[in-house]
Chains A and B, each alone.
Chain A
């Protein structure tokens, strides 16, 4: 009996040691797999859509070749153009005025190390897109910068330039929800099946 107890004790210690050396569990995608739910998915996307159509996001995803400014989305003064790489043209490059951080003061140039528009070969237009068009565009790697769904979530949730929208500097309105709330809606949209709203939804 005593032997049995000792053997059991040794076995359990060995088991514990073995367990402690197990590899880390494989990292799952950063969104839970929920049952498909087209209504819930579309509802989450409509929250995402409201953020993407807000001025802080849409002003750098214009339908034309010029960035937009202000809450009225007027065309950027100084005839600024996208250029091939999305960083402007000639002597009107974005970083000529926009620094790596917001310049302090009202109406001063906002900034980020990656400041710019999407490049000419991947324009990622938000302006004028209906909810359905924008959802399908976001999900299409040929139109979203080659991102799969996990990368799309990561971009929305963690990208530094996207994050600027929530720290836009004095005098600029914020998107209609916080960044964590926005990221949660993006995850929900995709976890519930990444459905696009019907063409009737505006």
Chain B
């Protein structure tokens, strides 16, 4: 048994310690917001937070997550009201949407570490998340918007 904490809930997982975390999240825990894209840490669709870092869950084995704190898109905020989610909604960022939970999880790490990112900072943080629909301009705009919302929220 491997114990992991996902979105604040403890789970005892009966699985091979080499099983990718993504399989555990999707197939065992039923958290299907995180997507399988390439299976080789090339695309970013499977990004989740492991102790706050934006790991690619398709190449992260479950034994690395043992006893650690995992947050998926389902647990990023209590009411889908993380500034990044609000900005994404407001700017209509997704097209097909497949990559977007990974994009949002990466953007959340960027904004935590850099509350006022420049375009270059966004490029540096987000280039590991690929969008086949090419929504990059809206992603960039939404991150700037989320940064502004986060700053406003901090002032209130």
Contact = CB atoms under 8 A, between A and B. Distances in A.
Given A99-B60, A103-B59, A107-B40, A92 B53 contact: no
A81 to B, nearest CB: 5
A85 to B, nearest CB: 13
A90 interface: yes
A77 B129 CA distance: 11
B40 A90 contact: no
B124 A81 contact: yes
Contacts of A92: 54, 124-125, 127-128
B64 interface: yes
Contacts of A103: 40-41, 59
Contact of A96 (B53, B61, B113): B53
A64 interface: no
B121 interface: yes
A146 to B, nearest CB: 28
- The main secondary structure of chain A at its interface with chain B is loop
A90 B61 contact: no
Interface in B38-61: 40-42, 47, 53-56, 59-61
14 contacts: A79-B128, A80-B127, A81-B124, A90-B110, A90-B113, A91-B47, A91-B107, A91-B110, A91-B125, A92-B125, A93-B54, A97-B128, A100-B64, A108-B59
Given A90-B54, A95-B55, A105-B40, 5 more contacts: A91-B109, A92-B128, A93-B53, A103-B59, A108-B41
Interface of A: 77-81, 89-93, 95-97, 99-100, 103, 105, 107-109
